[in-house]
Amino acid sequence: MTSIDPNPSYRVQLRDDRPPLTQPAMSNDVDRHSRVRLTSRWMEINGRPAIPVAGELHFSRVQRERWEEELRLLVASGITMVSTYMFWIHHEPERGQISFEDNLDVAAFLGAAERVGLDVILRIGPWCHGEVRNGGFPDWVLEAAPHSRTNDPDYLRLAEGWYASVAEQVRSFCGPDGRIVGIQLENELYDQPEHIATLKKLARKVGFSAPLWTATGWGGAILPEHEVFPLYSGYADGFWADQGSVWDDSFRDHFTFTHVWDDPGVGGDQREEGVEILVRPVDPEFPPATCELGGGMATAYHRRPLARGRDIAAVANTKIGNGSLWQGFYMYAGGTNPVDHVQESHSTGYPNDLPRFDYDFQAAVGSTGRPGSGLALFREHNAFLAAFGERLADMYSSLPDGAPVSVHDLRTLRWAVRSDGTQGVVFINTHQPYEPLAAAEGVQLTIATADGARVIPDRPIDIPSGLIARWPLGLDIAGVTIDWATASLAGLIDGPIPTLVLHAHDGVEPRIMFAGLEASPRDLVVGETFVVSDSLRILVIDDAQAERLWYFPSELIDSAEAVWFEEGSLVVRASSTPDVRRWVDGNWVAVEVATDSLPQTTSLPFQQVAGAGDAPSRYGEFAGRSSAPTDEQFDAVAGVWRIARPLTSALNDGDRVEIVIDFDGDVAQLRADGELFADKFWDGLVWRVDISHIPADRELTLHISPIASQSVIDLDPGARARVDAAGSLCAIRTVEQVTSVRWSPTSW
């Protein structure tokens, strides 16, 4: 790896450029709340500054019996708020036939959130997007009010009726003590501030209330002043980019420390061609905050990026270094469309074809409820904010003198400091996808604080490419001041002697300097634990152990499987006996667990019953983007395999059956007795489908259309290389049935 100039100016002058501290009318003069309050610089939770973390979960895309478990899993991974859309088309596809039953029971979902202790951001639309047909409008709305998303009287009458129906379901969760602490109006509406203000009046009229009223602020949105809290986004990549486009600068932006929050890329496929986007500064009445950090990424037919956990973690870390006061991940938990043909598609005038059912989103929690690749990294990010968010909330962000001036500068070290002038955190990012950032040799950072210049570390070190770091700077923790460390702050666990977890990254020499305690820095050894001044225990972990840790206020759990707490008791979900350890008084103690269910993984035989045809270069196109095959086109070329599924013994409450398919091809469909119930656009990843609700006596068939080197589809480079090497792909590698169950400790 090429290193940067060996003599750059690694210097930062701490500058507080924030607007004056004020109290907006929102949450202070109106809609006061017992737990949540807003200032122009931070949010207060339970009377103390905090940096909340929201995770998106669409209740109507998840089976009702899984809601509470997934919400508990969100809590276990450090989420403090859950955000969810109200998709009108899910609830009222036919005019006057509205449903809030079964998986559409929003009141039951809010009740589950209340039981697990999560506050809720309700995104009530009426237009939501979320890759749903018509942005969530039922077809009849467009017919009855063609001038939608404006103050057209016909449309406003329909919108008010929708709002009133939802308010009737959720009113008991609003108010000064309610779980609904935020209401988002509309979504990605750029030039209708009067309409957004009108929607707020309608929502309040029918009974909604919340301390936070939000709207998406990206894309140069013009919002009504003082009426809505603007929230921003940050995606590592996006399915919405044009066919054949390179990695866009709007994605590169999020791997660079900056104080520009607007994002012209997200939602760009919804704007008319030629519309100029004016990037706007943050409204000084509100702190910079996000509602859509890409917690994963959907796949469109024409473009199928992979959302790797490290990419997302780098964006999240950069946003905190930039000064974010609220982290919101979209999606945090994936799902499945509740019925067929409600996805956005070319046939409905949308520039992208989306899968008919699949909305896994490569999220931290996948569509089957299983942890995804990014969850471990998110847990550490969230644990850091839980431990240090109160102090970070009133710390401003400063960029170094030699900060990169272009997103195409891959050589200059990317770093920033968030500080109150004397103490803080140094944020470093040398990771991004597609275009690796350079390593840095001989690095010493000079930080001009109110107490004088600090140089860290005490001797030059090398910083590798791919680092995502949070180094302490003069932080007082349990009475011990860490002058600096070259290991990342992870979490802080309560106890008679609190435990600070420091993450020593591969390729970085881990050292620590305590102010006033030792004359020289101390080397850190991975796996060691030691106590400082009888008041702070330090545990040093490496990259491998970081993948396994779960942080709770007074518990630290080591487990490769999903864990959470119910009624104070630990629960583990696993398909075989899990290896679980608990941190007790400075030692790891094995936790014995047991279950009354039958966990198992079974390889399923499959038999090809129809051969595949030839893949065309395109089945069709719209707006310059390849179209997904129609039913007729798909069936004409798809290979068909019959999957022999064993007769499953009776399942206990909480047992979950997944089918795990490793296949090669273009589009895959699972059918039960000929009825489609799951689909996926191939991206090179294994496909997991929850089949707990599919009776074992129904015939399962897997239908796969071929993909070929001439197929006009944008794939991740690794997947594209596999296609090009083979010329054409259409095959099943393996099929497994996995039954995961709940495990409980036999002693604690």
Residue 560 covered by a domain: no
603 CB burial (10 A radius; 0-12, 13-18, 19+): exposed
Residue 16 has pLDDT above 70, yes or no: yes
Q: What is the CATH number of the domain that holds 334?
A: 3.20.20.80
Residue 126 covered by a domain: yes
pLDDT tens, residue by residue, 700-730:
999 999 999 999 999 999 999 999 999 999 9
Q: Please tell me the distance from the alpha carbon of residue 523 to that of residue 486, in angstroms, as a whole number.
A: 10
267 CB burial (10 A radius; 0-12, 13-18, 19+): buried
365 lies in the same domain as 501? no
Residue 2 has pLDDT above 70, yes or no: no
Examine the fold and report which residue of 386, 418, 440 is the final residue of a domain before the chain moves on.
386
Q: What is the CATH number of the domain that holds 419?
A: 2.102.20.10
Examine the fold and report which residue of 386, 415, 444 is the final residue of a domain before the chain moves on.
386
Global pTM value = 0.97
Q: Which domain holds residue 412?
A: 395-554
Residue 232 has pLDDT above 80, yes or no: yes
User: Torsions phi, psi of 201, nearest 5?
Assistant: -60, -40
Which pLDDT value is given to residue 9?
Answer: 61
**Nearest-CA neighbor of 683 among 707, 639, 715, 705?**
715
Residue 537 covered by a domain: yes
Q: Match 């489609």 to its residue by tokens.
A: 676
194 lies in the same domain as 67? yes
H helical segments located in 464-609: 543-546
Q: Please tell me the distance from the alpha carbon of residue 159 to that of residue 24, in angstroms, as a whole number.
A: 28
Examine the fold and report which residue of 554, 583, 612 is the final residue of a domain before the chain moves on.
554
| The two three-digit tokens of residue 226, written as one number | 């003082």
Residue 116 covered by a domain: yes
> Does residue 163 contact residue 206 with C-beta atoms inside 8 Å?
yes
Which pLDDT value is given to residue 326?
Answer: 98
Q: In this prediction, what percent of the chain has a pLDDT beyond 70? A: 97
Residue 487 covered by a domain: yes
642 lies in the same domain as 704? yes
Query: Under DSSP, is residue 94 helix (H, G, I), strand (E, B) or coil?
Result: coil
Q: Please tell me the distance from the alpha carbon of residue 29 to that of residue 25, in angstroms, as a whole number.
A: 5
Q: Match 């979950």 to its residue by tokens.
A: 656
Q: Match 């008084």 to its residue by tokens.
A: 585
pLDDT tens, residue by residue, 651-706:
899 999 999 999 999 999 999 999 999 999 999 999 999 999 999 899 999 999 99
Q: Rg for the chain (alpha carbons), in Å? A: 26
Q: Which residue has the higher pLDDT, 263 or 164?
A: 164
Residue 269 has pLDDT above 80, yes or no: no
Region 501-513: mean pLDDT is 97
Residue 100 covered by a domain: yes
432 lies in the same domain as 510? yes
208 lies in the same domain as 181? yes
418 lies in the same domain as 446? yes
What pairs with residue 659 in β-bridges? 689, 737
What pairs with residue 447 in β-bridges? 12, 454
pLDDT tens, residue by residue, 46-78:
999 999 999 999 999 999 999 999 999 999 999
Amino acid symbol at 518: E
**Nearest-CA neighbor of 192 among 211, 160, 215, 159?**
215
218 lies in the same domain as 185? yes
Residue 485 has pLDDT above 70, yes or no: yes
Which pLDDT value is given to residue 264?
Answer: 76
515 lies in the same domain as 662? no
Q: What is the CATH number of the domain that holds 641?
A: 2.60.120
pLDDT tens, residue by residue, 168-225:
999 999 999 999 999 999 999 999 999 999 999 999 999 999 999 999 999 899 999 9
262 lies in the same domain as 175? yes
Q: Could you tell me the CA-to-CA distances from 364 to 100, 176, 245, 296, 521 in Å, in that order?
A: 27, 32, 27, 7, 37
Sheet holding 452-463, edge to edge: 11-13, 440-449, 452-463
608 lies in the same domain as 536? no
> Does residue 714 contact residue 647 with C-beta atoms inside 8 Å?
no
pLDDT tens, residue by residue, 117-149:
999 999 999 999 999 999 999 999 999 999 999
Residue 733 covered by a domain: yes
465 lies in the same domain as 606? no
368 lies in the same domain as 474? no
> Does residue 414 contact residue 4 with C-beta atoms inside 8 Å?
no
Residue 12 covered by a domain: no
Number of folded domains in the chain?
3
Which pLDDT value is given to residue 373?
Answer: 87
